[in-house]
Structure 1
Amino acid sequence: MASPAVDDYLKTIYHHTEWQDERMTPSQLAGVLGLAPSSVTEMVKKLASLGLVTHRPYGPVSLTATGERRAAAIIRRHRLIETWLVREFDYAWDEVHDEAEVLEHAISDRLLAGIDDLLGHPLFDPHGDAIPRADGTVVREPFVLLADAAAGHTGRVLRVSDRDADVLRVAEAAGMTVATEVTVTAAGVRVGDAETALGDDVRQAVWLSA
């Protein structure tokens, strides 16, 4: 069943457990997608009938092995496109998400393979998110959410969520680009000799090496 709507559901469920272990509830799914809970309930039932998710009434939603493979495939498309736009067309990291949302459903498998070859088969996108390999596997090292890291913890920025472009701009202004080493302080982070106070929205959107 080829459907951008189905893919959006699967991607959202996949994203939810990439950087934490708690499974996604239908109400959380509705909130992220901006849809009525009743609409989400009906779609979840359809996804379950297709063998893409498992779900019991009032319980969380989980991807089946088939659903996870399909989600990983569309996420691979999205993140390769984001990386291509940044490297080859000088897009900023806060500009690529919406473009990739459109292109991920439009390009052919042949073009995607060509993009992957051109980029040298990258493992991570510009935000630090893992790009699934063609077989669905990913490479990811141990991590800690900035909001949960103790003051004095030093680590490399592994990932900055691309959900909010304003957060990306704040992170960049603070010097927190992917692979940069930072030290956690009581108010925010120190990068080199510069310390920046950060709001909770940013602290909840940055992951460091553990």
Structure 2
Amino acid sequence: MSRSHKQCKLSYKLQTYSDTRFNGAFITMDIFLLVFDEMISVLDSSFINYYLLVDKELSERVCSFLKAFGEVLEEMSNDKVPTIYKVLPLREYLLNHCKLNPDDHDGIKEIKTFLELRIKNVWVLHDVHYITSLLHPSFKDFRINPDLKTKAIDLVKNAIWQKYLLSTSNGSAANVAPFISTSTSDTQLTTSNSLLSKCFDSPRENR
């Protein structure tokens, strides 16, 4: 009760970290930073020394860096429109986000290195992710990672060829249904300042 009473004095309620929540670390740190300057007045004296050891500037940098991961999670959690075509570009967006910069804090470099390796090892792409991204009108050039374009094209060709073989074996090509589709309505609703638009191909110049 004592802790609960003291927490009521803060402008925001602190969030306990939960390892079952994908972006739990970001949520916890974000709230912590919002009330950082207020906490000195509610902490027990036994915790003051720990509080003074916290590097607020580094914590702010970490929170700023992790914000992109929270945005990607929100983008992928849309249950009203298809999101499968977003998987590859958003994965590459986060990998690019993890690239080291000369002026990065040593702590940020460690986090970037860890998360880049984690994404590559755990977030596995499947054929359908390459195909749907290539067929999306805004990802045809794979600007987010041109090295993946050849594989995507080969997968699309193979999918078309397999459909052709299936249709000929059934004696009719008229019954072949489109093997994949993307949501045009979602494309139209995407604004220029959205997260996904950062992965779009650059507009082609009129010749």
Over alpha carbons, which structure has the higher Rg?
2
Q: TM-score, normalised by structure 1?
A: 0.24
User: Which is helix-richer, 1 or 2?
Assistant: 2
Q: TM-score, normalised by structure 2?
A: 0.24
